[in-house]
Structure formats: C-alpha cells, structure tokens
Structure 1
C-alpha cells in the first residue's frame, strides 16, 4: 500500500480521524393522530359520498402508515424506509384536501430530533400538511443515514450499501432544504440551515466511503499511479473537504444550532473539526494532481454509484453491481421526443404547459406490482405498505378495441434456453461451489422468468410484468458476461419480429437485453390496441401504453441497439422508425382527446404528418424495406391523416389524488436512485440476507411464479 493511501486508511502521524465512525441522524418523534375519519368526512362533504368511497382505501392506508411510523417499535430500518416512502406517497395524494379543512381540525405534533426537551423542541400545528411532509422527508433522510452507518464497511458490498444509503439521505435532506423547509415554521431541525447542514454531512460521508473504496482499488490496480486515477482521488478529496467544511461552519456560526448539536452529542463537533482539518490538508497536498479539462477524456464519471470494487470478494457483490444498471435506464433516458411534442400540442390548446407529470395509468390499472391501483368506476386503492405483491388487478378494462388506431408491432420469438445450468456452472468454475450455492436461487428465477415471458397464454399485463422482472435480473447478471471460460456459455437465439425466417444467435447479454426491450415496447402497443378509446379510462390507458412503448424503444435505441449486431428489427434505423410512428400516434391522440379544436389544429396535424413522414421514409430504406414487405406499417403511415374525438370527464377528487401521487413519484425518483437499498426491502423480489442474494417469494407474489421452487434459496419471513 502506498504512503498516500495509508494516510487515509491507516494510523500514521497525520491519520484520517475515526475512519470507522459515521454520524447517523436521529429520527423525529411524533404524537399519534387520527387521519381517516376527518379526511373522509371532508371528502364526503366537499364532493360526495360516492367520491369518499372512491378514495377511502387511500385514507385507510394513510392512517395505517402513520400509526405504524409513530407507534410501532419493532420495524427494522429497511421496513421503516418502506413505510415512510409509502406514507409520503399517500400524503401527497391527500395534499389538496388540507386547504379545505374547516371543522374536525387535524393537529400534527412533531418533536425536534436533536433536542426535544428544548423550550422550542416541539411543533404543534393545525392542518399543516407542510409540517407533516417536511418531517417525513427528514425521517427518510435520518433512516437512510442509520442504514449507512450500520453497514459492514469491511466488505465491498457493505461499502456499496453504505454509499447508496448516505447518498439517499443526502438527497432527502437536499429536498427538505430546497423545497420544503422554507414553507415550515417549526423546530430548529427543520430550518433551512439545519437541512443544508445534514445534506452536506451525509454527502461528505458518502464521498469519504467512496474515497476509501477508490484508494483500496488503486492498491491492487497496476494503473493506480496514472494521471487520471490521481485526478479522480484529488477531486474526491477536495469534495469531501468542501462538504465537511460547510457542514462544520453552518453549525459553528449559529449559536442556536451549536447549542442544539452540543445538547445531542458533544463529540459531533470534535469529530467534524478533525475531519475538516485532515481533508483540508490532503486536498491541498493533492491539488496539483487535478488535471485541466483539456486533458480529461470526453466522458468521465468520478462518482458513479454502481460499480463495486473490481476485486469483489464474492459473486454476490458482483451481482449487486449489476442492479445499478437497471437504475441507469431510468436516470439517463428522458422522453425528449414525445414529451416535447405533447407539450407543444398542449400549449396550443391551453396556452400554458401542464405542471404535473403524466399519470402512469398503465401501472395503476394493470400492473400486479403497483401497490396503488385504480379499479372499478375509478376507485383508488392503496394497498398496505407491508403487503407484498401481487396486488388485485381488474383486467376487464382491456377488450378488443373497435377503433384501429395503429398496426400492432409484432413480438420477437426466442428459442428455449437453460440459463440456470449455464450460469451456475460458470460461477462454480470461476469462483467456487459455495459461491454458486449462494446465488443459485437467483439463477433459478432468471431461468423461470425467461420461460414465462414467452408463454402465449399469459395476459398482456402479466407478460409485461414478467418482462420487466426479467430485464431487472438481466441487469444483475450482466457483470458475469462474457462467460467465455464456461464449458457451456448461454447462446441466445432470437427471431426477427418482422421476418421470422431470419434469426440471430449470440453469446451477448446486450443482444438479450435489446430483444427484451423490443418486446416491452411491442407489448405496450398491443395493450394500446386492446383499449376502448370511447371511454375515459380506455383512452388514458391507451395513451400511457403508447408512452410506455416509446420509452422502451428509446432505451433500446440509446443504450443497447449498437451493442447488439443482430436482426434488422434491432437496428438503430428500425427502432427510430417505430418511435416516430408511436410519437405520431401520441400527438394525434393528445390533440383529439380535448373538447374542442381551437387555434393550432393545422399545426397539430402538421406535427402528426411530420412524424409519420419520418417513420415512412425510414421504413422504405434498404434492408428495412425488404423486412416490411408483408407488414401493414408502411401503408398505415401513408394513410395516417385522420383524427379521432374522445370525450373526457371533468377532474374530480380522484384526479387530484393522482396528481399528488405523480408529485410523490417524481420527488422519490429523484431522491431514491439507490437501487441496492431496495435489496434490503422485505417486499422486493430479490433481497440480500446473510450476504446471499435470495429470492423473496413474498416480493414476487408467493408461489405465483409457476413451477417447482424446491431447493431454491428463499426467504419467506
């Protein structure tokens, strides 16, 4: 180990102080409060009894979540996180109700997390959902920091979980600081200054663990002395130093905050002072290693959250690294093409841009893995936070549509494959038999999902859920590829969706992922064609399915198409053509869903025609034209100039709830991009237990996965 690395990792004349200590944030306490009865009475009084019946499930779950948060002392840290996230979603859904409460006031009482005995250590406010949401965000950050501090950081897996946990904590405190604390007059721990302090502190601790990981990696890396590696470490030292310094100064320069922290734990200030001093010296000493921008590669990621150490001590740790690939799909692929087009059309009709995100009707209506549901007659259901999937779903909304709006995109077919044996034998050969046993449950599930996704008797929503689960598993096993030393590496065989006589066979995980992404996009168009567009719910579901299709094809186009040299249906040109066709249909339906055709109808028709023209031109070029000889897609694109009128109903209480749900989803998606923490959840399909990746049948619907699960490593608790 080099002397530079020893300065951070081991004792010496100027050691990193307390490298093993991480500061965990305490949670806020609250008094119980009844939410269900006053809110239900309000809905019945302001709207109607039938509206109250539509949303009473959400109100019941809201009440249960808060009761569990405040009164249950047996919840593990991951369970507390699950419960708080579920409660926050419910809170955002009922947010509009709190502007109308006049009778039956709801009094929220929250205590300061650091100094509840202080004279201002309790906040009691009537009908203040802002205080409630701010307190829940604070506790989400606090719980994530406690998860990070409790991780075993002697292993790459433990360090990875700790980094993700502290990053999540920092993100929650950032949201509190920027968006929620300014609207709350409460205890000191919810002030802007305190929220920023905790954001800086958790961010510094995440970076410090990342730095320890970098330096240990450099120890075993022949390129550790390269200029780029030295640059990475120097920049990280500087960032750690800056964040610790800001956190320390924010506390020290405000006497009330200083007293607050001292009353909680006097050693915090000493600890932070030592950290500031150490990292300032190290950052200054290494500043000459920071390269000018002109010497950096075009793409450089200093602080990716997904890679584990390259010398991961177990295959479990390597597979956890793969789950981050799934997160990157959502982080790096905005719907730029269709979202911008729809915004233009909406502005033509309303002279303004809608603030809320689109409501995910596809998941809310059809997915067995969405705990929030829309069922008969628009009723909202919020399943309990600790209830695992599958959740009841009403599939009757799907039927043969009488309106043929577009030709279906055919699904790709594949040859059967024994993935379990290939994966297990490879791990046993490269690692050990004991390592293979630790992950064989996951491999059995991967194999089962691959078989299930091709069953013709599955309903469209169930097949979609199966494909998404399989894609997640593919991302997990991706770090194992390529498996060239294996005696029987898996060979994926897929047929061209438009010309089934053509096939491609490859030992290429990107080929498999690209084919699954294609089928996810194609399947969503089949769902669109199963919707009755003359009904409100049918129209909404059709639109969301089109968005879903465009999203999967966008990921295929951006991330996988060029990595899989295969049949023409996976080519960049073909995927672009399909996205243009779907964009045209989204634009068409977006325009025609509205009540009237006012100014701008000619421009809307122009946008639809433009998308169809681009798609048609792509479909008639070279190899694509040959593949579409027997397809109706070119003919459809030629004739696509008609519009369709669909009646919608005025917004009601359920629409307001759904808008709040979207707000919560958006905030949590930004704050919770920490996929490895989901492996600690007891309602997820795969979880970490005793260092093993195990299949949690509670998280995949009990025994709903067809087949014999004997001899699988599972967790039923």
Structure 2
C-alpha cells in the first residue's frame, strides 16, 4: 500500500451502534404452564430444560450485560435466539387464546437516549422479540468489529468478518424479521434496517479493500484492477447508506435522524465523496473483458512473502476455508459433546446454559449395532485408516522459530498444543464413536488453520505424514503433503459416520433419524474428500474410483432408510414425513421445538459463516487473546474429567 493510500484509508473511522434495551419479563412459568395445559405434564417435563435456559438467557441479556465481554454477549444472544425460535409455536398458541394472559415484551428505541417512545407488543410479541434480538446480534457484532485492533493484520481481518456478520443480521432484519413487527420503534423499521445493512457492508468492504491494497500475490495490472473494482463497490455502498439516512420521509423519521450524533451524517458524506472520487480516478485501471481472468475471488490469504505480524491472521483465515457445514442436526443434537442442545432417548430436550463450557454428556443409547447384519459388506466393515504417530506441533514450532522468531512461535503455542493433543487422541484405540467424531472434526479444523504454511520449504525437517491403506494395511503412503493428512482425516470421518449409521437402533424414532443424518453427513464429508484426494497421491483407498464405490453404497443405504419399514413406521407418533418438513401435519411439542431449532440452526449457519469469530468466544477450545492463539484453560478441567470418565468406562 502506498503512503497516499494509507493516509486515505484511516482504519479508526468506523462506526458501531449500541444494543437495544428492554424490560425484564418472566418466561418460564407461563410457558411451562401453557405446555402442561395444552399438551401434558410429561410433555412439559420433556421441554422444561429449554424453557429454563430461555428464561436464563433473557435474564442475563437484560441484567448481566454490563458484566459480560462482547463475545460473551454474542454467545448469550445466539443461544437465546435459538431457544426463542424453538418456543415460537407456544406464542402462537398464546396469541390465539383469549383466556390466556399474553406475555408482553417492551423494547426501547436504541437511538433515543432518554428511552422515550418504548414499544410494547401483546399479540405479536414473538415477532417483536425476534426482531429486537436480531437487531442486537447485528449491533454486538458491530461493537466486536470496532473493538478489534485494526492496526494489525489479524485485527483487521476479525473486524472485517464481524462487520460482514453484522451486515447479514441487518439484512435478515430488513428482509424478514422487521416485516412482521407491528408498531415498532423507528430503529426496527425497514428503512433503518436497510441503512444499517449497507453501512456495515461498506465498512467490511473498506477493510477488505485495505487487505487488497496490502496484497502482492498478483500481477500489478490485476492488483490495480481488483482495487479499482473494490473502490467502486465501496463507493456504491456508502452512497446507498448516505442516501437512505438523509432522504428519509415523514416527520417522525426526520426527527429520528436528527436525534443521531450528527457526526454520523458528516462521516457518511465524507466517505461517500472520497470513495466516489477514488473510484472515478481508478476507473482506467479496470481491465478490458478480454484480459480479465475467469474468476475473481475475494482476498483469501496474505501476500506469500508475509511478515511475522501476519502469522496469526493466516492461521485464523485458515479456519474460514472450510466454513460450509452440513445441515444435519440429529448427529450433533444426540452425539456431539460440544452441542449445548441434546435429545435424549426418551425424547427429552436438554439445553445447557449458554455460559456452561463443553463438553456435555451424550446419549449413546440409540447406538445398538442393530443394522450391521443387513447392511452392505463394504459399509459394515469399512475400517478407519491408521497412521504413524507424529509430533506435528514440534515441527511447526521449529518452523515458526526458524522462519520468523521465538516470539511468533509463542503467539501460536495454544493452537500447536491443541493440534498435538487432538492428533494423539485421534489415533487412540477404544474411543467411543461420538468422541472420535468430535476429535476428528476439531483436528480437521486445526489442519485448515495451518494449511497455508505448507509446504514448509524453509524447514530443514518438515513433518512426514504416514498413512496406511484402510483396505490393505501392508501398503502405506509417506508424504510431506498436508493434503494427504486432510484426505485421510476426511476418509475416517466418512467411515465413522457410516459406522454411526450402522450402529443406530432403528426401532426408535431418534435412532432412525440419526442414521439418516449420519449418512447425509458422510456424503457431505465425501465431497471434501474428493477435493483433498486430488491434491495428494495417496493409497488406493483415497482414489476417486474407491470413493465413488463408497458414495454409491451410502446413497443406496440412505435410500433404503428413507423409506422406513413397517415395524418402524407403526411406532406411536412416528412422523411419516419426518424429512419432508414442508408437509403439514400434527406436531407434538417436542417436534415443534426441534423444527424451530432446525430453522434457526440453518439461518445462523448462513449468517455466522465466520468461524474465526468463534475463537473470540469464552467457550472456544482455542481462543484469541491479545493477538495470540492460546489454549482455553477454562475448558481443561471438564475435558480432563471427561477423559478420565471415558478411561474408566473402557476398563
């Protein structure tokens, strides 16, 4: 970046918004009473954990806000939003029952410091509550973005991702949630939601532009072309935001704008003017169509000859490279030690408080090996690949010391420690299926973080990955190529998912659903396996031909399970259209909660597609602290306790 560009793009001039405030309200007692009366006492017992957590989240959101860090406030809001979407059908029942006292939420206008003109809602209570929570999720992400140290590469990246997520929340508020709110405050109107979406999109794009100006991994002409397009894009976003906020119609809206800090309006006008001028000046740098490459991707890495200051940013960027997640929910709801929502065998829903660190107990009772005798030979006996032990963290630490410095190596020690621990656990014998699955997933995420540093050409002793053929253990492949490691881990994930599916008790509803989701998960992982296998010449079990055979068998078994046999479909309350969620049918209260969870789970995955922000969370195994990647000590005790309990169980 030239000195001129540095002067023009000042990273300090970014805006955030405060959170909306609300009055306390009791949720647990009226909602539990409603479930008991509308359904049954046993149904109320099945979902009371969710209702208790819902109540606690809202109380913490209102009363503990000043005591919580910004990432913890984000965790609380996300957890509350999930619970809120799960209980939404109960509010529908409340609004249609004239004999039941409604739950009344009161929310205040965020831009009115005197808290005048607060709005309450009776019959559309859940719509107001959801809109306000989505607003606050966007607001807290904007505050996280502003709190990042944008003078560093890592800080700019985290700030950019947080602004992107904030913009997505306000996009959802604009397009979905604000439309259903009646008599809302002006900050929840469509106009203000659209304005905030464009504002935070512009700020995210501006930070991304800074990274493009710093990036030298392309030719000069291509780099100038990208920057010219970026200046034009940022210009349009600031222009739209500025027009929206200045040209509002109606006396109330204009009064609302004037209640703003007037420096906002001035700031937006200056940004709009600057980027318009820069875009016009750089217009000549845009390449003609015949010279443009086929694909223009967003900046995904630092310059290849990066400096030590970029190391933590590159590691954090790596975890975003595999941010696409499958939409299956039963695997995590039943088997993951890190999902705070659980389905137990008796149908009970358990929701652990948002501030309780993992791991959480899993319910493996639905695994019974009841299907293996009738399944295909390939899937029933698909073994896991074996590997030679390797101290990967030692090799990486030596590399960072040699290429950068001892201080850089210390900044990433937490990640390297976690990497070493997960690889050792991955190779242990006797692990339960759920525990091994979580271990493989977490290890794969760590591999994605360190991938940009491979091949480690500057290292005199790069790590050698040794993996044996799952079909013929006498054959092995030894490479420095990290894609062999990633492909092998993905192979084991595919195999493990099929093992889970083949071990499910299909005489239960949740066992049947878990089997289907496990197979869907296997198919999802197999797509990534193909991509990684192409980059590593491994053993025959990683070949495209063998992968196709496995894929076909998984599809065949899934098709078989998608048409349940008569002994399963005749179970009480068995939903014949369990996987056709668009088919109207009677749902018991647990089914309604699960449907609400599925919807919000999908929505949040779409919005919060920046896993690097999870590294700011207090409940992340590896977290960012003062620009360093450290192991989270608060999770060490429960992890050790779980390992001790697991060891005793296996004895």
Q: TM-score scaled by structure 1?
A: 0.83
Deviations 1:303-350 (Å, cap 9, x if unpaired)? 34x4345534333233112212232x43xxx7xxxxxxxxxxxxxxxx
Partner residue in 2 for 1:656: 592
Q: Report the Cα distance in structure 2 between the residues aligned to 1:592 and 1:296, rounded to whole angstroms.
A: 52
Secondary structure at the aligned position of 1:99 is classed as helix
CA contact (8 A) 2:108 2:115 kept: no
CA contact (8 A) 1:173 1:195 kept: yes
Cα RMSD after superposing both structures? 2.1
Deviations 1:205-229 (Å, cap 9, x if unpaired)? 01111112222335xx6x56x2211
Equivalent in 408, 428, 453 of residue 426 of structure 2: 453
Partner residue in 2 for 1:205: 203
Partner residue in 2 for 1:65: 57
- Asked if residue 574 in structure 1 is aligned to residue 546 in structure 2, the reply is yes
CA contact (8 A) 1:361 1:541 kept: yes
- Asked if residue 536 in structure 1 is aligned to residue 529 in structure 2, the reply is no
- Asked if residue 42 in structure 1 is aligned to residue 11 in structure 2, the reply is no
Partner residue in 2 for 1:677: 613
Following superposition, the deviation at residue 645 of structure 1 comes to 6.6
Partner residue in 2 for 1:273: 269
Secondary structure at the aligned position of 1:421 is classed as helix
Secondary structure at the aligned position of 1:399 is classed as coil
Secondary structure at the aligned position of 1:591 is classed as coil
- Asked if residue 406 in structure 1 is aligned to residue 376 in structure 2, the reply is yes
1:219-238 → structure 2 map (5 Å cutoff): 226-238=220-232
Partner residue in 2 for 1:382: 351
Following superposition, the deviation at residue 571 of structure 1 comes to 1.3
Q: Report the Cα distance in structure 2 between the residues aligned to 1:414 and 1:377, rounded to whole angstroms.
A: 39
Q: Report the Cα distance in structure 1 between the residues aligned to 2:67 and 2:123, rounded to whole angstroms.
A: 29
Following superposition, the deviation at residue 406 of structure 1 comes to 2.9
Following superposition, the deviation at residue 474 of structure 1 comes to 0.7
Deviations 1:23-81 (Å, cap 9, x if unpaired)? 10111000000110111111111110000000000000000001111111211111111
Q: Report the Cα distance in structure 2 between the residues aligned to 1:58 and 1:680, rounded to whole angstroms.
A: 25
Secondary structure at the aligned position of 2:162 is classed as helix
Following superposition, the deviation at residue 290 of structure 1 comes to 2.1
1:270-669 → structure 2 map (5 Å cutoff): 270-301=266-297, 303-304=298-299, 306-308=300-302, 310=304, 311-314=306-309, 315-327=311-323, 329-330=324-325, 360-401=329-370, 404-407=374-377, 408=380, 409-557=382-530, 559-592=531-564, 647=571, 649-650=574-575, 651-669=587-605
Equivalent in 170, 190, 193 of residue 192 of structure 1: 190
Partner residue in 2 for 1:76: 69
Q: Which contiguous aligned blocks of 4+ residues in structure 1 show a shift greater than 6 angstroms?
A: none
Structure 2 portions without partners, runs of 5+: 576-586, 645-651
- Asked if residue 29 in structure 1 is aligned to residue 21 in structure 2, the reply is yes
CA contact (8 A) 2:347 2:590 kept: yes
Deviations 1:492-519 (Å, cap 9, x if unpaired)? 1111111211110100111100000000
- Asked if residue 695 in structure 1 is aligned to residue 631 in structure 2, the reply is yes
Equivalent in 94, 98, 115 of residue 91 of structure 2: 98
Following superposition, the deviation at residue 170 of structure 1 comes to 0.3
Q: Classify 1:119/1:694 alpha carbon distance in 2 versus 1 (closer, same or farther; 3 Å).
A: closer
Q: Classify 1:554/1:532 alpha carbon distance in 2 versus 1 (closer, same or farther; 3 Å).
A: same
Secondary structure at the aligned position of 1:264 is classed as coil
Q: TM-score scaled by structure 2?
A: 0.91
Following superposition, the deviation at residue 418 of structure 1 comes to 1.6
Equivalent in 242, 248, 252 of residue 248 of structure 1: 242
Q: Classify 1:697/1:231 alpha carbon distance in 2 versus 1 (closer, same or farther; 3 Å).
A: same
Deviations 1:643-696 (Å, cap 9, x if unpaired)? x97746244211110110011111111110112211100001110112210011
Q: Classify 1:127/1:276 alpha carbon distance in 2 versus 1 (closer, same or farther; 3 Å).
A: closer
Q: Report the Cα distance in structure 2 between the residues aligned to 1:112 and 1:489, rounded to whole angstroms.
A: 58
Following superposition, the deviation at residue 533 of structure 1 comes to 1.4
Q: Classify 1:88/1:454 alpha carbon distance in 2 versus 1 (closer, same or farther; 3 Å).
A: same
CA contact (8 A) 2:386 2:470 kept: yes
Q: Report the Cα distance in structure 2 between the residues aligned to 1:395 and 1:469, rounded to whole angstroms.
A: 20
Aligned residues: 617
CA contact (8 A) 2:414 2:622 kept: no
Q: Report the Cα distance in structure 2 between the residues aligned to 1:698 and 1:309, rounded to whole angstroms.
A: 35
Q: Classify 1:704/1:520 alpha carbon distance in 2 versus 1 (closer, same or farther; 3 Å).
A: farther
Following superposition, the deviation at residue 594 of structure 1 comes to 7.8
Secondary structure at the aligned position of 1:693 is classed as strand
CA contact (8 A) 1:144 1:166 kept: yes
Following superposition, the deviation at residue 461 of structure 1 comes to 0.6
Following superposition, the deviation at residue 116 of structure 1 comes to 5.4
Secondary structure at the aligned position of 2:505 is classed as coil
CA contact (8 A) 2:359 2:642 kept: no
Q: Report the Cα distance in structure 2 between the residues aligned to 1:266 and 1:190, rounded to whole angstroms.
A: 20
Q: Report the Cα distance in structure 2 between the residues aligned to 1:308 and 1:141, rounded to whole angstroms.
A: 27
The range that moved more, 461-470 or 431-440, is 431-440
Q: Classify 1:692/1:236 alpha carbon distance in 2 versus 1 (closer, same or farther; 3 Å).
A: same
Following superposition, the deviation at residue 104 of structure 1 comes to 3.2
CA contact (8 A) 1:156 1:313 kept: no
- Asked if residue 150 in structure 1 is aligned to residue 147 in structure 2, the reply is yes
